[in-house]
Amino acid sequence: MSAPPRRVENLHTDKGKVPVYATGIVEQPWDDYSADDHATWTTLYARQRELLVGRASAAFLAAQDAMGMTPDRIPKFSALNRVLTEATGWTLMGVEGLLPELDFFDHLANRRFPVTWWIRRPDQIDYIEEPDLFHDLFGHVPLLMNPVFADYMAAYGRGGVKAHGIGAEALQMLTRLYWYTVEFGLIREADGPGSSPGQALRIYGSGIVSSTGESIHALESDAPNRIAFDLERIMRTRYRIDTYQKTYFVIDSFEQLMAATAPDFTPIYARLARQDSVPAGSVLDTDAVLHRGSGEGWADDGDV
């Protein structure tokens, strides 16, 4: 038998927070969740679903229902896996916290998605620094049911293994792509049957769908820039980990994302390494701007 799972969180020191990595794969200790744990899931699920109808990508909402995620209690990974593996070949596996980069990429490349087994405490309900079960399961897992997005995530994993072998700069550029698509991506979608030809802006990024504040901010606030997806632009763009994003990048479809990221990145990494990075809130004259942010409330420093 393996050791009981641990709950691995960032360390808080006098130098700020230090991420702690854990490699262990764990059995989800489902019987050990407390009534508080299930209640946290129920509260967050109900709140986000209500907010996300009409805001999240239709593909996300449909997939979440198809998987059998419900508000009443924390889902069992084993039950979700029966549906997910059948649909796209992905498997969820329990982890204790953040994985080292190469381990993470290797799992993705093999269609294994790491899900943190523990859920945030009641006092962390509105904000938690590190990914927990709610972020991973509610935010990331539904789109793994979508065949195109499922392929994108596996291709990203293979790209990660490759970038890791190339070096730190390549890895940084690839991480920005993950950040601005998987975590904080927006998509323009047809606005449902019978509606006008207009395209509605919707959320697909997991970091947004699992956050009440950012679900509204990303779509409705005047503050952030909303710019059409551009691979190399994203690879050069710094980002925020401590506040809402200053800029969101908008795709037209998952097929567009897949096609744009299909080429070999090796020569792109080499070329972009000679260019300056772009601050998180900048708008360039080469950008296709959908909305130019007012910049209200932005902190001047702190881009990573």
Chain contacts with ligand PHE (rule: CB under 6 A): 152, 155-156, 159, 162, 177, 261-265
What three-state secondary structure class fits 89?
A: coil
Smallest distance, Å, CB 153 to ligand PHE? 8
For ligand PHE, which residue has the nearest CB? Answer: 159
CB of residue 69 to Co ion, shortest distance in Å: 16
Q: How far apart are CA 204 and CA 110, in angstroms?
A: 22
Distances (CA, A) of 110 to 21, 30, 124, 155: 20, 25, 32, 10
CB of 45 or CB of 90, closer to ligand PHE: 90
Q: How far is the CB of 232 from Co ion (least distance, A)?
A: 23
Task: Please name which of 22, 54, 49, 237 lies closest in space to residue 131, comparing C-alpha atoms.
Answer: 22
Q: Considering beta carbons, is residue 211 or 269 the nearer one to Co ion?
A: 211
Q: Which of residues 161-220 bind Co ion (CB under 5 A)?
A: 206
Which of ligand PHE, Co ion, none does residue 39 bind (CB under 5 to 8 Å by kind)? none
> Cα 212–85–102 angle (5° rounding)?
70
For residue 155, the minimal CB distance to ligand PHE (Å) is 4
Provide the 10 A C-beta neighbour count for residue 175: 17
Nearest distance in Å: CB 97, ligand PHE: 24
Q: Which does 159 bind (CB under 5 to 8 A by kind): Co ion, ligand PHE, none?
A: ligand PHE
Provide the H-helix boundaries in 76-230.
77-88, 101-109, 133, 147-166, 168-178, 206-209, 212-220
Closer to Co ion by CB, 251 or 272: give it: 251
114/263 Cα distance (integer angstroms):
26
Cβ burial, residue 185 (10 Å; 0-12/13-18/19+): buried
**Shortest Å, Cβ 206 to ligand PHE:** 15
Closest CB to ligand PHE among 147 and 263?
A: 263
Residue 242 contact among ligand PHE, Co ion, none, beta carbon within 5 to 8 Å by kind: none
Q: Which is nearer to Co ion, 99 or 235 (CB)?
A: 99
- Read off φ and ψ for residue 290, nearest 5 degrees: -90, -35
Rounded CA separation 27/189 (Å): 38
Cα dist from 151 to 30, 176, 185, whole Å: 29, 19, 17
Residue 66 vs 161, nearer CB to ligand PHE: 161
User: Could you give the C-alpha distances from 73 to 34, 39, 46, in angstroms and in order?
Assistant: 11, 7, 11
Residue (160 or 207) nearer to ligand PHE, CB: 160
Which of Co ion, ligand PHE, none does residue 302 bind (CB under 5 to 8 Å by kind)?
Answer: none
Question: In Å, what is the CA distance from 154 to each residue of 86, 106, 111, 188, 300?
Answer: 16, 9, 6, 23, 36
- Which of Co ion, ligand PHE, none sits in contact with 155, Cβ below 5 to 8 A by type? ligand PHE
User: Which does residue 248 bind out of ligand PHE, Co ion, none, counting CB within 5 to 8 angstroms by kind?
Assistant: none
Nearest approach, Cβ of 31 to ligand PHE (angstroms)? 38
Q: Which does 40 bind (CB under 5 to 8 A by kind): ligand PHE, Co ion, none?
A: none
Residues that bind Co ion (CB under 5 A): 206
